[in-house]
Each structure stands twice: as structure tokens, then as C-alpha cells.
Chains A and B, each alone.
Chain A
Amino acid sequence: MSITADDISRAAIGARTAPSMRRSFTESRNLRSFLLTAFVWILAIIAAIPLFSVLYMLISQGGARLSLDLFTELPPAGFMQGGGFGNAIIGTLVMVGIGALIAIPVGVMGGVYLGAIAPDSKLSAGIRFVAKVLTGFPSILVGIFIFGLLVQAMGTFSALAGGVALAMGMLSTVMLTSEQAIRMVPQRMKDAATGIGCTSTQTVWKVVLPTALPGILTGVMLGIASAAGESAPLLFTALFSSFWLESLVEPTASLSILIYNFSGMPFPNQIQLAWSASLVLVLIVLVFNILSRLFGSRKV
């Protein structure tokens, strides 16, 4: 449809007839709009295919073997039937726990410094830059670094070294999301705290941190979720073990390394276990992801 000289000439309001406003696909703008919407919709579906096909594969391949034994028994040796990966689940949880114990206090306090204490200082700019670099740092190098720092010094692979390696991966996530959450606290809340007689420290502890807590927890949960799935940092630090965890300074099993080891073995039983371990690992990661969504959706 176009506006003709005729339309303009009868601009007098009384002379106007009701225009056609019906939706019509013969109009090219409507057709173009429909095609573009369909195109975007199809691409969005394609983007979701990998995730759902991985999930489908894990459930169909690993779900069959799911039983309580998986959680209570040790990994079997070659040619042996049955068995489980209870030690690997514990190992993963313990090492993620050690990592969280290091990364959460350091990361959250770092976030407080960046977001509330000295947002504009040169030191903050430097820390922020380094943290961003660390976010994209190859995790295998983190493993090798901790190998040189701890494993060689202590003379043994250990859960401790594994936990420290995971902490390095979590740290930047926790710190940067904490900073974001702290910066999101409205200035008027800080004004209110100052106005009622808070020192700057009290403002941070009593008002800013509690208000930013949901956002901080989101970052913590995301950090934990990604650490639980890591394998490269553990390869050179925790190694693996076929036995129950008895001390933090001995080689320690983890789900991701178990998957790596067993999937390459020529024994069907071990390959089956690798599938089940994959499913369990994804479920653990999923739980922390869902937790992060729950914390994040809580109203400030």
C-alpha cells in the first residue's frame, strides 16, 4: 500500500473513508515479518538440540545402570562385573567443597572490594582485568600450575591440590558476579544506611551485602556447578584412586576423571559405568544450576 497524491488531496477530515486495516500476507512487510520470526524460531530450536541430545543419550545409556550400588561400591578392576563409583562422588564433592571453602571467602571479599570499597581505584581495575583473564584461562594450565606448586612440593597427588586447582577456576566467577551483585545495590539504600548513622563498614556489612546476597549466591552456585564438571585441573593434581577417600593428602577419585579413564577401557562394564557416572555428574551440575536460578530469582 502506498500513499498517493489522491489520498493527500482529500485530506479534509469529512471526506475520509474507513481505511482497510486487516492483516494480510499479500503485504510484503507482513510476509517478511513472518519469515524472519520463523527463521529465528528455527535457529533457536537448533541451538537447543545439542543439549537435549546429550541429555537423551546420557539418560538412555546411563540410566539403565542406575542403582544404589553405584553410590556405595568402589570402581571394579578390569573383567570384573558390577561395582560403582561411590569414592568418585565423594572425591568430587570433597574437592569442590575445598575449592568453595577457598574461593567463596576470597571471591566474595574481592567482590566487596571491587564493588563497594574502591570501585574506581587502579588496583581494582587491575584485579578486574586479571580476574577476567583467569575466567578464560585454559584449565589444563591451572592443573599444571598446581602440580608444580603443590603436588611436587608435597610429593603426592591429593584432594587438597585438586581442591586448590578447582578454587582457581571458581574464584574469578565468584568475584566478578559478587562485584556485579554489589554494584546493583541501589545508591539510595547506601544513602539510607549512611543517613541513619552507619559507618562505611556497617553500610557494607549490614545493608549492601544482605541486599546483594541473592546475586552473590547465584555466582557461588554457578562457580560450584562449573567446578564440579571440571576434569583438566584434576588430572595433574588429584589423579585418581580406586579406593575410598581416607585422607586429603592422597590421590583422590573424581567423577570426571573416572569418566575419562573408564570410557577408554575395552571392558563393557567399565564403559557402562562411565555412562552412569556421566549422568550422575550432569545431575549434580544441574542441581547447582537450578539452585543458582532459585537464588537469583529471589526478589531484592
Chain B
Amino acid sequence: MSVNLSTPATTAAAVNPQYAISASIDKIFYGDFLAVRDAVIGVEKGKITGFIGPSGCGKSTVLRSLNRMNDLIPIFRLEGRVDFMGQDIYAKDIDPVSVRRHIGMVFQQPNPFSMSIFENVAFGLRLNRFKGNMHEQVERSLRRAGLWNEVKDKLKQNGLALSGGQQQRLCIARAIAIEPTVLLMDEPCSALDPIATRIVEELMLELKNDYSVAIVTHNMQQAQRVADITAFFSVDVSKGGRTGYLVEKGPTAEVFGNPREQLTREYVSGQFS
């Protein structure tokens, strides 16, 4: 195992009980292509962890391997461990479907189902044979996603008829309705306008009271606004490949204000091309 030991803060992730997810990923392959190496990273309980870095640095790939979304890609292969509450989610006896029910995901493109607003939120509940008061839980989820007041009079309307920002909050409501432990967000604002972005960011800050959140973002201001901890990834193009790896990770203020690595300093100050 070739963990990047120059970042001692990250190695603690593997043992510390304050983490909902702690991953030590040696390698991620797509077929023969080495996409990511040496990413030791955690999602701290009750905090927001931001993944930043240039395009192709593997930050989304790492995020999507935290709830086994990458299993959909047949040539995907991961070497290492991803521990969720003390269980390796890549162990042979783990059902990836139940992993995803505990580790929810919000995607880059808002992707409501082509069904009513109510049914979009109720979907996951029905999937889990939810026994409680469906209407109450749908309302609670929509309230927590900050969408209730806008949609309470049109719950039967198709979710795709909402605006982009509303659709994204509907997707967040859908994800939190089934009470996941961790919420993974893959560039959740990159398809939204600045106002909708701000609303979703405020929402994230509220959500971290109940969930552990990890967010991939291209937007460094966004990372500074919402993330408690920031992980910076970069691309290694030596040896003719394009392999993403974790450069450093720490409290957001430190990563942006006083980074340990020169590469990080260049990136956060905008000198990275």
C-alpha cells in the first residue's frame, strides 16, 4: 500500500471514530486505465467535506466510489477499503443496494423522476416499505429541503415542471426522505444559477446537523463557503497517464489560507492551469 505519507492528517481517517466514512483507496481502475491512486479520505460526522481540484483529478470518481455508484460501470475496479460505520462496503458479502440506501446521493444534473413531486419524494420510502405516515414524511423532507412552501399547493404536479434549482432541492428531499447517514453531492450546483446556488448552499449548512455531507465542487468560493474540511485532488500526467490523487486535506481555512503543499497553494490562488 502506497499511502501518501506527506499528509499525516489524512492517515488518521482510517481509525478515527468521528468519521462516518473513511476510505483508503489505493487504486481505482477503469479497465487498464489507472484513474485514481492514493486517496485516503474521510467524511466526518456532522460536517461538510469538500472535494476540490482540476477537471479529471478523480474527485467525482472518488465520491461515487463511496456509495458504490461506480458499480454501474462494468470496467470499474477499486483496490483499497471504504469503511462505512466500521464495515468495508466493498467486502464480498455487502449488498451495494443497501449501501446506497444509507449513503444517499445528489447529482450534478437535477434528476427528478417523471412523476409527481409527492411521488418523487415518496419513491424511496415506498422502495423501503416505509410503514409510517407517508404524507408526514414527504412533507418533513420537503420542508428540510426548503421546498415545502413553494410546492405545497402543487404536490401532484410533475417534478420535471419545476425550475432547475427547485428540481435540485426536490432531489435533495428525495435523498433525505429515506434518512441516509451520509449525503454525497456531486457538483450539486454546477447546473444552477447563482441565486439557486446560494439557496442550496444554505440548505447544505442546515443539513450537516443531521447528515454527514461530502460535496464535489469546481467552485472554490463554494468550497470556502460551505466546507468544514477540504480535500484537494490533482492530476498526475507523468508516465503518460492521467491519474488523480489526493494532494492534501485539512480544515478549509488552512487548505485555502496556509496550504502545506505548493501545488495546493498554486491551485487555490488561481495559478493552476
Interface residues, chain A, with chain B CB atoms under 8 Å away? 186, 188-199, 202, 206-207, 210-211, 299-300
Q: Which of B98, B160, B175 contacts A195 (CB 8 A)?
A: B175
Question: CB distance A195 to B127 under 8 Å?
Answer: no
Among A194, A195, A299, the one with the most B-chain Cβ atoms within 10 Å of its Cβ is A195
B104 within 8 A of A: yes
In the complex, besides A197-B97, A197-B178, 11 extra interface pairs with C-beta distance below 8 angstroms are A189-B111, A189-B114, A191-B69, A191-B72, A191-B107, A196-B101, A196-B123, A196-B175, A196-B178, A198-B97, A210-B114
Question: CB distance B178 to A192 under 8 Å?
Answer: no
Residue of A nearest to B161 (CB): A299
The docked-state distance in angstroms from the alpha carbon of A189 to that of B109 is 10
Question: CB distance B111 to A196 under 8 Å?
Answer: no
A195 contacts which chain B residues (CB < 8 A)? 67, 69, 100, 104-105, 107, 175
Question: CB distance A191 to B111 under 8 Å?
Answer: yes
Quick one: given A188-B107, A191-B107, are A196 and B174 in contact (CB under 8 Å)? Answer: yes
How many positions in chain B have a CB within 8 Å of any CB in the partner chain? 26
B231 within 8 A of A: no
The docked-state distance in angstroms from the alpha carbon of A194 to that of B67 is 10
B196 within 8 A of A: no
B124 within 8 A of A: yes
Q: Which of B97, B113, B171 contacts A211 (CB 8 A)?
A: B113
Question: CB distance A192 to B124 under 8 Å?
Answer: no
Report A111 CB to chain B, min CB distance, Å: 18
Quick one: given A195-B67, A196-B178, are A189 and B113 in contact (CB under 8 Å)? Answer: yes
The docked-state distance in angstroms from the alpha carbon of A188 to that of B112 is 9
A210 contacts which chain B residues (CB < 8 A)? 113-115
The docked-state distance in angstroms from the alpha carbon of A191 to that of B109 is 10
Question: CB distance B72 to A194 under 8 Å?
Answer: yes
Quick one: given A188-B109, A189-B111, A207-B113, are A202 and B127 in contact (CB under 8 Å)? Answer: yes
Q: Which of B72, B114, B124, B160 contacts A196 (CB 8 A)?
A: B124
Among A192, A196, A210, the one with the most B-chain Cβ atoms within 10 Å of its Cβ is A196
Report B62 CB to chain A, min CB distance, Å: 16
B178 contacts which chain A residues (CB < 8 A)? 196-197
The docked-state distance in angstroms from the alpha carbon of A189 to that of B72 is 13
Report B127-177 residues with CB < 8 Å from chain A CB: 127-128, 158, 160, 171, 174-175
